Amino acid sequence: MRVFISHKNEDSNIALIVHKALVTHNVDSYLDVLDRFADDGEELISHIKTQLNDCTDIIVVISENTKLSWWVPFEIGMAAQIDMPTASFLLTGVDLPSYLAYWPRLKSVHDIRKYVESKRRIDLLMELRHDNLSTASKRRYGTPEFYRLLKAELRK
Residue 135 above 70 pLDDT? yes
Q: State the DSSP string of the chain.
A: -EEEEE--GGGHHHHHHHHHHHHHTT-EEE-GGG---S-SSHHHHHHHHHHHHT-SEEEEEESGGGGG-SHHHHHHHHHHHTT--EEEEEPTT-PPPGGGTTS-EE-SHHHHHHHHHHHHHHHHHHHHH-TTS-HHHHHHHHHHHHHHHHHHHHH-
pTM: 0.90
Q: How far apart, in whole angstroms, are the C-alpha atoms of residue 74 and residue 116?
A: 24
pLDDT of residue 33: 64
Q: What band does 125 get if pLDDT is binned at 50, 70 and 90? A: confident
Q: What is the pLDDT of residue 137?
A: 78
Model pLDDT for residues 4-61, shown as the tens digit of each residue: 999 998 999 999 999 999 999 999 999 986 556 555 677 778 888 899 999 999 999 9
Residue 92 clears pLDDT 60, i.e. is over it: yes
Domains of the chain, first to last: 2-155 (3.40.50.10140)
